[in-house]
């Protein structure tokens, strides 16, 4: 059996994706489950995080969000039986490639897949569901009536975050990076309060949000990256799409929460002072934290289960591309790694 792996000769270099013949699975013992993969979603690989965690090896497995059928269970498995339909995320240090017909996984990374949910939907929503819950529940304590600004709402992650915020009774504002994105966001139901089209670089996000909230600012901001420096110091493409960190701080309301995906965020003393005056918080969105410590395992499984229930009931309607066969996985993964895919890429077996 072959699996998809990536290879990086040295840090900072572009990574290449290869299909590798994999060794036979070890015996299924204790709490492990043997799974026949039916669908695997592809996500961007944070090579910097892997190297910081000393997880570097010559070939690193690709594809972690999987849905499939249980073939065999270990002697200590209590949650699953053969023929159960399940979905889950392989841990960061897993030796298994999800783009492979058979994988071995610990039962504590899986939940049951609802019957009426398709394989592609289950695999395609699980990661973005976890990220949305982490951002809006764990980090910002979203509650009904709060105003939420979700940057780049027309992305696969942005779509799920908007749907979760609406379900919790929040008032949602979003930014669009193109005319197609704007039209897509305007078609979403329940309707978004305001779609801010930043594609031409002429619209001031802070001004639009303050106008929408009567000058009091938004309660929660979920960014998709921010501009840290002046216009001359950053690439032109990034410029007009991403807001400056000062804009974000300006449009944040008193007691607000800023959830950032910018791992290298730098705040100067005046920025910190402004956040202090507002009593606001800054949190970093790293959805890998759930699997970096077993302390939160029960909570993590509850979230996975809840994501599946919301998908089954129609609260979540993921933005998926047409599923592709395994032999096209390498091309799809290259597109994902270059951040060129707007819709979620899913491999279907």
* 33-71 tens-digit pLDDT: 999 999 999 999 888 888 787 776 778 899 999 999 999
More confident call, 153 vs 235? 153
Residue with tokens 């792996």: 5
Mean pLDDT of 197-202: 85
pLDDT digit string (tens) for 130-149? 999 999 999 999 999 999 99
Least confident span in 207-221, 281-295, 297-311: 281-295
The mean of the pLDDT values for the chain is 90
Least confident span in 109-118, 187-196, 212-221, 305-314: 187-196
Q: How confident is the model at residue 81 (pLDDT cuts 50, 70, 90)?
A: very high
Residue with tokens 């990374």: 109
Q: What's the pLDDT score for residue 10? A: 63
Q: What's the pLDDT score for residue 231? A: 58
d(CA 81, CA 72): 7
Each residue of 200-212: b (16+ CB within 10 Å) or e?
eeeeebbebbbeb
Q: What's the pLDDT score for residue 174? A: 96
Q: What's the pLDDT score for residue 287? A: 86
The residues pairing with 73 across neighbouring beta strands, listed in sequence order, are 33
Mean pLDDT of 323-334: 92
CATH superfamily of 2-124+295-348: Medium-chain alcohol dehydrogenases, catalytic domain (3.90.180.10)
Q: How confident is the model at residue 167 (pLDDT cuts 50, 70, 90)?
A: very high
Radius of gyration of the chain (CA): 21
Kind plus residue range of the DSSP H or E element containing 309: helix 297-313
Mean pLDDT of 174-186: 93
d(CA 244, CA 264): 14
Each residue of 52-86: b (16+ CB within 10 Å) or e?
eeeeeeeebbbbbbbbbbbebbbeebebbeeebbb
Q: What's the pLDDT score for residue 128? A: 96
Check whether 232 has a pLDDT greater than 80. no
pTM greater than the 0.75 cutoff: yes
CATH topology of domain 144-284: Quinone Oxidoreductase; Chain A, domain 1 (3.90.180)
Domain with CATH 3.90.180.10 in the chain: 2-124+295-348, 144-284
Tell me what percent of the chain is helix, strand and coil, each rounded to the nearest 5. Answer: 35, 25, 40
Q: What's the pLDDT score for residue 64? A: 93
Mean pLDDT of 245-261: 95
* Neighbouring residues of 191: CB distance < 8 A, sequence distance ≥ 6: none
Mean pLDDT of 259-287: 94
Q: What's the pLDDT score for residue 37? A: 95
Dihedral pair phi/psi, residue 176, rounded to 5°: -120, 135
Q: Apex CA 260: angle with CA 256 and CA 264, to 5°?
A: 130
Q: How confident is the model at residue 103 (pLDDT cuts 50, 70, 90)?
A: very high
* CA nearest to 312, candidates 127, 130, 114, 156: 114
Check whether 8 has a pLDDT greater than 80. no
Mean pLDDT of 80-104: 92
* CA nearest to 78, candidates 301, 309, 296, 306: 301
Check whether 217 has a pLDDT greater than 80. yes
């Amino acid at each position: 059996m072959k699996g998809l792996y990536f290879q990086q000769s040295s840090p900072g270099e572009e990574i290449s994706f290869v299909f590798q013949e994999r060794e036979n699975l070890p015996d299924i013992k204790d709490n492990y489950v043997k799974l026949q993969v039916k669908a695997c979603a592809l996500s961007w690989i944070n090579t910097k995080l892997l190297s910081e965690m000393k997880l570097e090896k010559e070939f690193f497995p690709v594809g972690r969000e999987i849905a499939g059928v249980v073939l065999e269970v270990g002697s200590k498995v209590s949650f699953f039986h053969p023929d159960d339909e399940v979905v889950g995320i392989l841990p960061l240090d897993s030796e298994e490639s999800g783009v492979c017909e058979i994988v071995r996984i610990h039962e504590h990374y899986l939940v049951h897949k609802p019957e009426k949910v398709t394989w592609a939907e289950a695999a395609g929503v699980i990661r973005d569901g976890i990220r949305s819950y982490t951002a809006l529940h764990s980090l910002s304590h979203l509650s009904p009536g709060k105003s939420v600004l979700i940057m780049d709402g027309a992305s696969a992650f942005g779509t799920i975050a908007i749907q979760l915020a609406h379900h919790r009774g929040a008032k949602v504002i979003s930014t669009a990076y193109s005319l197609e994105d704007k039209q897509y966001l305007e078609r979403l139901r329940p309707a978004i309060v305001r779609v801010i089209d930043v594609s031409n670089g002429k619209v001031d996000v802070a001004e639009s949000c303050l106008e929408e909230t009567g000058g009091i600012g938004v309660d929660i901001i979920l960014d998709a990256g921010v501009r840290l420096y002046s216009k001359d110091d950053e690439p032109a493409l990034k410029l007009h799409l991403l807001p400056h960190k000062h804009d974000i701080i300006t449009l944040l309301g008193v007691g607000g929460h800023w959830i950032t995906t910018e791992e290298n965020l730098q705040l100067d003393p005046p920025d910190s002072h402004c956040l202090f005056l507002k009593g606001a918080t800054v949190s970093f969105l790293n959805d890998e934290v759930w699997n970096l410590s077993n302390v939160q395992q029960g909570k993590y499984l509850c979230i996975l289960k809840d994501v599946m229930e919301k998908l089954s009931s129609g609260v979540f309607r993921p933005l998926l591309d047409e599923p592709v066969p395994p032999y096209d996985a390498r091309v799809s993964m290259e597109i994902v790694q270059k951040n060129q895919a707007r819709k979620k890429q899913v491999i279907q077996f």
